[in-house]
Amino acid sequence: MGVGRRMKKQGPPEPLSEAHFAKLKRKAGLPVDDVPAETRDNKKRRTGKNAAPTKPNGTAQKKSAQKANGAKPVAQQNGARSKPSGKKAAPVPGSDEDVSDGLGDGFDGSDMDDSDLSSDDDMDGGLGDDFLGSDDSVYDSDNEIQNKAMFSEDEDESDAEEKLTAANIAGLTRKLDEQLAQEEADNEAELRDSAMQTNIDVERPHVLEDEEEDQLALKTKALLAPDLQLLRNRINETIRVLEDFAKLAEEGRSRAEYTAQLLKDICAYYGYSDYLAEKLFNLFTPREAFEFFEANESARPVVIRTNTLRTHRRDLAQALINRGVTLEPVGKWSKVGLQIFESTVPLGATPEYLAGHYILQAASSFLPVMALAPQENERCLDMAAAPGGKTTHMAAMMKNTGCIFANDPSKQRAKGLIGNIHRLGARNVVVCNYDAREFPRVIGGFDRVLLDAPCSGTGVIAKDASVKTNKTEKDFMMLPHIQKQLLLSAIDSVNHASKTGGFLVYSTCSVTVEENEEVVNYALRKRPNVRLVSTDLSFGREGFTSYRGKNFDASLKLTRRYYPHAYNVDGFYVAKFQKVGPTPPSLVKDFNKNQDSATKATAQASGGETEDEIIDKTPIAADDKLAGTVGVEDDGFGGFDEEEDKEYMEKAKRNAMRRRGLDPKALDKGKAKAAKSDESSSRKDKAEPKEGKGKADGVKTKSKKKEKTKA
């Protein structure tokens, strides 16, 4: 770079003397020992008492300032002249020119050599030997603290030159207050403008159809495909109106009209039937109902359950991660669940799956087994076990001890149940194929019973979208009736005297009140020997104790509800009972009579004939009570009556035929045919000897005739 303009005019600076460094050390408070004595004697500190008065025109100040940096002197504040007093005038902050000077911060005119300064002081005649008094911009630390006007960088130069007084401070404060008030006014105006644009507090949204609309236009709209974006916007607007009905509703419109319009839009947007949409809508507030319908449109996360009979969750997670699976634990509430986000391999065909290390199972299906909490060496029953997720979970919790009876009324589904049991290595499971309503008579006395009852599936609409349209009012009358029968049978199958158990868990994958709270409340009324207890689940909403004018038992708050929009799991309901005493015999007889009437009604509906038959449903007495009774032999096996056993066997065959939809009278027809065949065979046997005698007599007569002819 070339020589600058300032260097051309002033030339290179003189070398700094030792006195300059001594001055800097004194200002910093450091000891100065190496300064020559002459220099120290020549330097006299100036005080307020013996200071020489400066000239009124300030010529010395001008000269010193010009020699220091070649810049023009700064005018004094308000044009006032300096007074000949001992105190120094407060230095004025320089202009932008001085600030932008290239000499640096601590490099003032006072930092020049002493010889040059002393000659200038002698010429002026008004300055002492101390060069510090030659420039007001340099002052000693011993002097009084001088006030400077400090301003931020964004203020004007004129503000910096103003003298700070009480009046100026008040004016600046007033100015700031005015600016804040103006900003607040602008913000309010902006909010008002945005409110006008979004129809808030200004215009009530128009979401209802006009009654005067032409019928032809309505028919045309019905034929056209709905505008989904328009429907969604109208649903949001209607929900907003229902949340603040007093302010946003149109005049002359009722809440029922807005609700009907919302249900209509929901049916058109999501594809529900009118009946099911209204039933589900009544469970929630309008905003939450919209979230529920929206959650049913997206699938729930894929979840697998670790089979602790074969592996640990940490080992399984590491093995799947090595195969390119992205996963994480399903939550703190489960120690065996893993949620799958992404997989490069099919989860149903990995070596770990085929080896039985895990099973694909929804997270909500963990909850009933966790609530049941089966213990080791217990005797448990799963009344509707297929496809085996809950059964194998119970076996894992029991560590393959005790005994589990896995029942399912469908033989086809029982095949998948058996396959999963073998694959997962559950060795304490007995699979049976019975109607669960007959189970108290087949076998009973279980420590714990799990009833995952068949239901409408309103909690798993994300898996089966056909539920939106194929469920009618008849389904919600038949299903609760079957569920009530199953629940009473499950209660009767529990052993109340169990030392470790006596518990029953009732669960459904439905969210309707008819299949959940009403069924549980019915069981509490019909079986006074059971009570609801806590499910011990860490999350879930409490069950309803009242619903649309119906009041239920207060203990139903111990049951738990699960929704897809709240917990990101399938809709589910879990209730846990404890049996505290035996079931009264009168209640059992009434229940059996009702059950028989129901079976007769189904038989009549199917076109078959019914037969009045008395079936002894009382429990079988102990062997010692049978011994010694009249007509029963007291043998080593406790006494058996074969004739009575034949009767029981015939009754069992007839009942089995009824369950299969066959006519039990076919057995009698077979017996009649067998009897006829026996009679015919016996007649033939009787007729054969007569014919033999006749033939013999004929032979004899012929022989006699021959003899006569010969004679």
3-state secondary structure 304-356: EEECCCCCCHHHHHHHHHHCCEEEEECCCCCCCEEEEEEECCCCCCCHHHHCC
* Cα separation, 592 vs 586, whole angstroms: 10
8 is known to lie in a ligand binding site: no
Task: Provide the 10 A C-beta neighbour count for residue 582.
Answer: 12
589 is known to lie in a ligand binding site: no
* Cα separation, 88 vs 146, whole angstroms: 9
Say whether 125 sits in a helix, a strand or coil.
Answer: coil
Say whether 380 sits in a helix, a strand or coil.
Answer: strand
User: Which contiguous run of DSSP H or E holds residue 579?
Assistant: strand 572-579
* Cα separation, 541 vs 544, whole angstroms: 9
CA distances from residue 461 to 269, 293, 295 in whole angstroms, order as listed: 15, 9, 9
**What does DSSP assign to residue 384?**
S
636 is known to lie in a ligand binding site: no
Please answer whether residues 387 and 360 qualify as being in contact, where contact means their C-beta atoms are separated by less than 8 angstroms: no
* Cα separation, 422 vs 427, whole angstroms: 8
| Of 384, 386, 320, nearest in space to 353 by CA | 320
Q: Catalytic residue at 267?
A: no
Task: Provide the 10 A C-beta neighbour count for residue 371.
Answer: 23
Q: Which long-range contacts (CB under 8 A, 24 or more apart) does 158-166 make?
A: 160/93, 161/77, 161/92, 163/77, 163/78
388 is known to lie in a ligand binding site: yes
Taking the mean position of all CA atoms in its chain, how far away is CA 561?
Answer: 13
171 is known to lie in a ligand binding site: no
Question: Judging by DSSP bridges, how do beta strands 560-562 and 541-542 pair with one another?
Answer: antiparallel
Q: Which two tokens stand for residue 36?
A: 């020559």
**What does DSSP assign to residue 500?**
S
130 is known to lie in a ligand binding site: no
CA-based angle 540:545:549, to the nearest 5?
Answer: 135
- The residue behind tokens 């056209």 is 224
* Cα separation, 543 vs 534, whole angstroms: 12
385 is known to lie in a ligand binding site: yes
Say whether 567 sits in a helix, a strand or coil.
Answer: helix
* Cα separation, 371 vs 533, whole angstroms: 10
- Catalytic choice (267, 380, 455, 509): 509
Rg (CA), the chain: 52
* Cα separation, 163 vs 173, whole angstroms: 15
319 is known to lie in a ligand binding site: no
Which residues are designated catalytic? Answer: 509
Binding residues: 384-390, 408, 435, 452
Binding residues for S-adenosyl-L-methionine: 384-390, 408, 435, 452
